Amino acid sequence: MKNMSALFFSIVLMVSCEVDSFDPVESNDQSQTESMKTKSKVKTKSNLDLSILPGDSFTYGLVLGINNQGKIVGDGVWVDGSYTYLNNYLGGTNEYSEGNHINNQGNIVGFVTDFSTYFQAAYWEQYDNEPKILPTGNFHIGYAYWVNDEGQIVGFVEDFFTGLRRASLWDNDQLTVLPIGNYSRSVARAINNRGHIVGTVNSGSSRRPVTWINGEMQELPISTYSRGQANGINNNGGIVGAVENQPAYWKHGELTVLPTGEYTGGYTYSISNNGTIVGYVFSDGISTPAMWKKGKLITLSKGDYLEGYAYCINDSGEVGGVLYNQNGQNQPVVWEK
């Protein structure tokens, strides 16, 4: 049986972004153990402690968002170290929900499904509220990646039958499908408090990182690389993503390829307002969670786990992500001071 959390995150992340093989993939779940009830810490060379979070005994969990108050979301919610499910009421059975981001007001966005209908983009005003299903217009599927502190939400909508996928903005419950120029598909991954959006457009094998500012799309440079994608943006306009299999950072329209040290390549997901970047580096098919601070690569502790990914960071420097053991079980984690 596939681990449900890893399965759904991998499906949506890889399919929606059409990412390359260097992005995370799901792992086989060979056995199950009782989930941990309290954090355990391992001192790291990065001056951050690895904290293993409690999770559901079936899905185990992963951390996708952390706000400046330290509230954490993924396939559940962690408040003051305690785990609870997101309210996912749809009126059906076998429901599943996942939160991709939490802003500093505690608003959460992600998706809900009951497995018999399409994925639906969802917004929770607070984690214990019933989700609000976001409109999809003439499309069938919705998925929300990010909500800024102004309540603006980005993600994508998709036609189930044709596979047409378009980057989307929800503002005051109004859906705007973002322009894509001559490209055929798109995804919006993040929006800062100024309303600047980043994401990816593609046609066939051609894939480009882009911004949408005041409704206008602008491609980001990728130098001599053949393709790229943008995943995160901070309030100062710093953008992170990847070009081919290398971690990338853009500022004022200029590309910087980040160092990977002894590793073959890497990938970045998020950037704090202080400019610290998180993601992972990899070699020989094994991924190591990583951060870049002032351009310097710092790998994060995996403890006794095989591999992992750092997905999010807040302005206090707390990092969230996931670790996998030898059997492919995933464990939600944070790295904190």
310 pLDDT more than 90: yes
In this predicted structure, which of 3-12, 55-64, 142-151 has the lowest mean pLDDT? 3-12
Average pLDDT, stretch 291-299?
96
Q: What pLDDT score does 251 carry?
A: 97
pLDDT band at 107 (very low <50, low <70, confident <90, very high): very high
Q: Give the Å distances, CA to CA, from 95 to 62, 78, 228.
A: 18, 19, 34
CA 99 to CA 108: how far, in whole Å? Answer: 6
Provide the pLDDT for residue 61: 82
Q: Over pLDDT 70: what percentage of the chain? A: 83
Residue 25 is predicted with a pLDDT of: 29
Could you tell me the pLDDT band of residue 88, with boundaries at 50, 70 and 90?
A: low
pLDDT tens-digit readout, 213-233: 999 999 999 999 999 999 999
Listed range (52-56, 197-201, 243-247, 307-311) with the worst mean pLDDT: 52-56
| Measured distance CA(41)–CA(36) in Å, rounded | 12
Is the confidence at residue 69, as pLDDT, over 80? yes
- Of 95, 335, 313, 307, nearest to 190 by C-alpha is 313
pLDDT of residue 89: 57
pLDDT in tens, 19-33: 333 333 223 232 222
45-49, 165-169, 289-293: which has the minimum mean pLDDT?
Answer: 45-49
Pair 228, 243: CB distance under 8 Å: yes
For residues 144 and 41, the model is more confident at 144
Name the average pLDDT for the chain.
85
Residue 96: what pLDDT? 83
**More confident position, 288 or 44:** 288
pLDDT value of residue 129: 83
Contact 141, 134 (CB under 8 A): no
pLDDT score recorded for residue 37: 29
**What integer is the mean pLDDT of 252-269?**
97
pLDDT number for residue 149: 98
Q: Give 62 or 315, the one with higher predicted confidence.
A: 315
Q: Which of 172-181, 195-204, 324-333 has the lowest mean pLDDT?
A: 324-333
Neighbouring residues of 166: CB distance < 8 A, sequence distance ≥ 6 = 139, 156, 157, 158, 177, 178, 180, 185, 186
What's residue 117's pLDDT? 75
d(C-alpha 294, C-alpha 277), whole Å? 9
Question: How does DSSP assign 88-117, residue by residue?
Answer: ---SSSS-EEEEEEE-TT--EEEEEE-SSS
**Residues 108-123: tens digit of each pLDDT:** 999 998 777 789 999 9
Assess whether pLDDT exceeds 60 at residue 39: no
Write down the pLDDT at residue 240. 98
pLDDT, mean of residues 132-154: 97
